[in-house]
Amino acid sequence: MFGTSHSLYRRVMLTIEFIYQTISMIFSWFALANFYLAYFFLEQNLKSIHDNRKLPVTPDGPPRISINADPFHGAGYYVMEVFRELYILALIMQFVLSLGNRPQGTKFIYRLSVALFTIIMILITYVAMYGVIYTAVHTEYDKGVKSLLDDAKFRDIVISMASTYGLYFVASFLYFEPWHMFTSFVQYTLWLPSSINILMVYAFCNTHDVSWGTKGDTEMASELGHAKVVQKDGVEEAHIAINTEDVELRYQEYITSLKEVREVKSNKRDAKTKREDNNKVFRTTLVLSWMCTNVILVMVISSEWFANITTQTDTTGSHNYYLSFIFWSVAVLSAFRFIGSTWYRIRFLFHD
C-alpha cells in the first residue's frame, strides 16, 4: 500500500482503516465468547447478591445487600441459571443444525432458537438497566455526580450503552435519516444475539459451500435419461429410453460378468471431488479453530483463577476487569465509527 501512487493523506487514512478493520475482525472472531461472558458475569453479579443474602448477619461480616438489588427480588440467580443452561443447549444445537441441515427444512427449530435468544436479550437488557437504575437511586451524592461515576460497574455499562445506542441516534439525525431508529431499533436489539449465535455459526459451518452469491446457478446440465410424455392428437404417448437388445441375452451377459475376477483399481479423485474435499477440510479446520479459541477464552475468563486475580468485591457484587475491557472497547469502536461518519458528512457538505 505504501508503494502505491496514492497521496500521503490517503495512505494514512487507509492504514487507519486497516487497523480498525483488523481490530473489528478480532472482536467478531470472539463475539460468540464475549456475548456468553457478558451474560455469565451478569448472572455472577446476581449470584453474589444471592450468596450474600444467605450469610448470617454478624458484626464482623459483610454488609447485607438489600433484596431489592435483585431484579427478580431473590429469584434472579435461578432465572439466569435456567436460561444459561438453555443458552448453552441452543448454541450446541446451532452447530448440529448448521453442519447438516438446510434452514428451509428446519424452520421450527430455528424459530424456536430465535425466540429463546430474544428472551435472553430481554433478560440481559432488563438486568443491566435495573442495576444501573438501582445504583443511581441508592447512591449517596455527597460528591455530586462523581459519587455515581466512582462505581465502576455503573460507569462502564452507562458509557458503553451511551456510546453505542446514543451515537446511533446522533449519527442518524446527523444524516437526516432517523426514522429507522424509531421503526427498527427494538427489532435490531432483540435480534442481536440471534445474529451472533445463529447466523455466525451457520456462516462458519458452511464456508465450504462456495455457491453463496451465485444466484442459484449451481446446477450442472446433464441428461440422465427419463420417460418423456408427449401429448399428440389428444392422446398421451410415453417414450421410454430402453435398449432394444434381447432381454434374456443381456441378463446372461450380466451373470457372466459377475463371475469374472476383476482387478481392483484404485479410485482416484477427480478435480471436482478434490476441490470439494479441500473446501470441507478448510471448513472443518476453520470451525474447530473458531470453536476452540472461543471455548478457551470462556474457560479462562470464567475460571476462579481469573476471578481471584481480576475481581474486587464491592457493596453490590463483583466488578470484572475483562467485562470493563469489553465495555470500553465497544465504546471506543463506536466513537471511532462516529468520528469517521461525521468527518465524511462534513466533507460531503463542503465538497466542490
User: pLDDT tens digits for 261-295?
Assistant: 777 666 677 777 888 888 888 888 999 999 999 99
pLDDT confidence tier of residue 236, bands split at 50, 70 and 90:
low
Phi, psi for 220 (deg, rounded to 5): -95, 135
247 shares a domain with 106: no
287 shares a domain with 238: no
172 shares a domain with 105: yes
Q: Is residue 48 part of a domain?
A: yes
Judge whether residue 234 has pLDDT over 70. no
Q: Is residue 218 part of a domain?
A: no
* % the chain with pLDDT above 70: 78
109 shares a domain with 17: yes
236 shares a domain with 138: no
Angle at which helices 107-137 and 152-161 pack, to 10 degrees?
Answer: 130
Judge whether residue 227 has pLDDT over 50. yes
Assigned C-alpha cell, 39: 451474560
CA Rg, the chain, in Å? Answer: 30
Q: Is residue 269 part of a domain?
A: no
205 shares a domain with 242: no
140 shares a domain with 53: yes
Q: Is residue 267 part of a domain?
A: no
pLDDT, average across residues 223-247: 58
Q: Is residue 43 part of a domain?
A: yes
Other C-beta atoms within 10 Å of 134: how many?
A: 17
Judge whether residue 99 has pLDDT over 80. yes
245 shares a domain with 168: no
Judge whether residue 223 has pLDDT over 60. no
Is there a contact between 198 and 96 (Cβ–Cβ < 8 Å)?
no
Judge whether residue 60 has pLDDT over 60. yes
The domain containing residue 237 runs over which residues? 228-256
Cβ neighbours for 320, distance < 8 A, ≥ 6 positions apart: 41, 44, 307, 310, 311
What pLDDT, on the 0 to 100 scale, is given for residue 221?
Answer: 45
Judge whether residue 310 has pLDDT over 70. no
pLDDT, average across residues 165-187: 85
Number of domains in the chain: 2
Q: 187 vs 57, which has greater pLDDT?
A: 187
Q: What is the DSSP string of 98-166?
A: HTT--GGG-HHHHHHHHHHHHHHHHHHHHHHHHHHHHHHHS---TTTHHHHHT-HHHHHHHHHHIIIII
What pLDDT, on the 0 to 100 scale, is given for residue 244?
Answer: 54
Q: What is the DSSP string of 217-284?
A: --PPP------EEEEETTEEEEE-----S-HHHHHHHHHHHHHS--PPPPPPP-HHHHHHHHHHHHHH
Q: What is the mean pLDDT of the chain?
A: 80
pLDDT, average across residues 328-338: 87
**Rounded distance, CA 73 to CA 70, Å?**
5
pLDDT, average across residues 201-223: 65
Question: Which one of 8-22, 210-224, 254-268 scores highest in mean pLDDT?
Answer: 8-22
Give per-residue burial for 173-184: e unless 16+ CB within 10 Å, then b.
eeeeebeebeee
Q: Is 216 helix (H, G, I), strand (E, B) or coil?
A: coil
Judge whether residue 328 has pLDDT over 80. yes
102 shares a domain with 206: yes
Checking phi first, is residue 224 left (phi over 0); if not, alpha (psi -120 to 50) or beta?
alpha
Judge whether residue 314 has pLDDT over 50. no
Assigned C-alpha cell, 187: 427489532
235 shares a domain with 98: no
Assigned C-alpha cell, 292: 476452540
pLDDT, average across residues 134-161: 71
Note the Cα 100 to chain centre separation in Å.
19
246 shares a domain with 179: no
**Rounded distance, CA 238 to CA 229, Å?**
5
Question: Which one of 5-9, 103-107, 117-121, 229-233 scores highest in mean pLDDT?
Answer: 117-121
Q: Is residue 78 part of a domain?
A: yes
pLDDT, average across residues 303-308: 78
**Rounded distance, CA 117 to CA 39, Å?**
12
168 shares a domain with 48: yes
Q: Is residue 83 part of a domain?
A: yes
pLDDT, average across residues 198-206: 90
Q: Is residue 143 part of a domain?
A: yes
Phi, psi for 280 (deg, rounded to 5): -70, -35
